[in-house]
């Protein structure tokens, strides 16, 4: 007897995580559908081969549009939904708080309402985030209190409490939060700090750019590889009962460490000069390659994130494969190769 192929709907399929997850689920034999928002940028940038080989099906729509969400779940008839669509830029959430709440909080509410009508047994993954911990002391685990400091963190926390915990407890919905710490890759958008650093330094190395600017160098983040983290998303939905999991490496580094590691991978010897907003980094020849610009600071900053993912390791059997140094190296190598063409 032939088993029915599972169907998955990924919102946010065109993003970094969405594209890795689509590849992963296609390889597992899933029928994969992606909700795609109309923008003027190329939605195929990360998904060209899957799309043209008809391995994923795009459905137009976005998280603000209930009718479009209804159509998406009716077409995909999903066994699993991965809600990765979001206004995911923490810095921008301070200038666009309403949009952030609309998409990251109300969007999930709309999706759940439509999904439950089509299949009350659907399993849903919600992309929650370490930003919900905000100023809670590290290391942060599933037991740590939430103290978000950004509109992004607040919207994600409300979605977690009202729709993940709330619908699980009140309506018996199968829904899990993956509380993911920062996860990066060569597919990361260039407005996030890691890719901004690797891309800018690679350009400087190739003589295509003189210098670049950053904000707070002292923020500490637990950076893992996105390709490892999407596997944890899938693992969560395979458990008999829905639960929430922290996904992290358990290693934290400052933005400054990231700059040094990336420069080292390019054989650029940097030295730091000055303090605060006047701090600079110079190369061996004394040329300024990095300066500080206060516009990249946030009104409120999450100072120190360090995840304790022992529950995911124990219950899911998940562990990160790519370590910090390797992550930086693979991002640098990708940027060098792409820019050299
Ligand atoms: O900033 C500092 C900045 O924008 C990291 C999202 O995926 O992970 C991400 O959020 C740190 C912050 O990521 C610049 O102040 C310094 O402390 O790369 P980011 P994020 O805000 O941590 C979480 C888990 C998510 O859920 C989010 O969706 O770097 N920083 N200078 C800078 N950040 C940026 N973007 N640009 C700078 O020039």
What ligand 1 atom has the least distance to the C-alpha of 293?
A: 38
Per-residue pLDDT band at 138 (split at 50, 70, 90): very high
| 229 shares a domain with 292 | no
Contact 187, 16 (CB under 8 A): yes
Give, for 127, the enclosing helix (H) or strand (E): strand 123-129
DSSP, collapsed to helix, strand or coil, labels residue 265 as helix
| 203 shares a domain with 70 | no
Q: What is the pLDDT of residue 1?
A: 66
CATH number, domain of 268, equals: 3.90.25.10
Does the structure show a pLDDT above 90 at 141? yes
Q: Ligand 1 pocket: which of 182, 213, 225, 294 to mutate (most atoms <8 Å of CB)?
A: 182
Contact 133, 81 (CB under 8 A): no
Q: Are strands 31-36 and 7-11 parallel, antiparallel or unpaired?
A: parallel
Nearest CA to 72 out of 45, 37, 20 is that of 37
| 51 shares a domain with 142 | yes
Q: What is the pLDDT of residue 261?
A: 98
Angle between helices 66-76 and 107-118 (to 10 degrees): 40
Q: Which residues are annotated as a binding site?
A: 89-90
> Mean pLDDT throughout 47-54?
92
Q: What residues make up the domain containing 133?
A: 7-185+224-250+305-322
| 265 shares a domain with 238 | no
> Mean pLDDT throughout 23-48?
94
| 117 shares a domain with 52 | yes
| 131 shares a domain with 11 | yes
Q: Ligand 1 pocket: which of 84, 85, 88, 91 to mutate (most atoms <8 Å of CB)?
A: 91
Residue having the nearest C-alpha atom to atom 29 of ligand 1: 193
**Which pTM value belongs to this model?**
0.97
Q: Which residues of 196-224 are buried (b: 16+ CB within 10 A; e: fewer)?
A: bbbbbbbbbbeeeeeebebbbbebbbbbb
CATH number, domain of 178, equals: 3.40.50.720
| 164 shares a domain with 53 | yes
Query: How confident is the model over 237-253, as pLDDT tens digits?
Result: 999 999 999 999 999 99
Q: How far is the CA of 62 from the centre of ligand 1 (A)?
A: 24
């Amino acid at each position: 007897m032939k088993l029915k192929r599972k169907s998955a709907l990924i919102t946010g399929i065109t993003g970094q995580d969405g594209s890795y997850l689509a590849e992963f689920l296609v390889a597992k034999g899933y029928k994969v559908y992606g909700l795609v928002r109309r923008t003027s940028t190329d939605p195929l940038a990360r998904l060209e081969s899957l799309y043209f080989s008809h391995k994923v099906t795009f459905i137009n729509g976005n998280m603000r549009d209930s009718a479009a969400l209804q159509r998406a779940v009716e077409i995909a008839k999903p066994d699993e939904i991965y809600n990765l669509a979001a206004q995911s830029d923490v810095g921008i959430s301070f200038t666009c708080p309403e949009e952030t709440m609309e998409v990251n909080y109300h969007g999930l509410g709309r999706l759940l309402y439509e999904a439950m009508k089509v299949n009350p047994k659907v399993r849903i993954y919600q992309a929650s985030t370490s930003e919900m911990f905000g100023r809670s002391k590290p290391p942060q685990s599933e037991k740590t209190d939430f103290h978000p400091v950004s509109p992004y963190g607040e919207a994600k926390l409300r979605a977690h409490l009202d729709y993940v915990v709330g619908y699980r407890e009140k309506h018996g919905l199968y829904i899990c939060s993956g509380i993911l710490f920062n996860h990066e890759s060569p597919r990361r958008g260039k407005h996030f700090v890691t890719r901004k650093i690797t891309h800018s330094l690679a350009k400087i190395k190739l003589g295509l750019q003189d210098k670049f600017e950053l904000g707070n160098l002292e923020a500490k983040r637990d950076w893992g590889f996105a390709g490892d983290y999407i596997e944890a998303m899938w693992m969560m939905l395979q458990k008999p009962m829905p639960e929430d999991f922290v996904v992290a490496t358990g290693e934290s580094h400052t933005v400054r460490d990231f700059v040094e590691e990336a420069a080292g991978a390019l054989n650029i010897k940097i030295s730091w000069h000055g303090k605060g907003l006047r701090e600079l980094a110079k190369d061996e020849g004394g040329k300024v390659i990095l300066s500080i610009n206060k516009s990249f600071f946030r009104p409120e900053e999450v100072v120190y994130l360090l995840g304790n993912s022992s529950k995911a390791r124990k219950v899911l059997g998940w562990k990160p494969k790519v370590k910090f140094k390797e992550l930086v190296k693979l991002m640098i190598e990708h940027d060098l190769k792409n820019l050299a063409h």
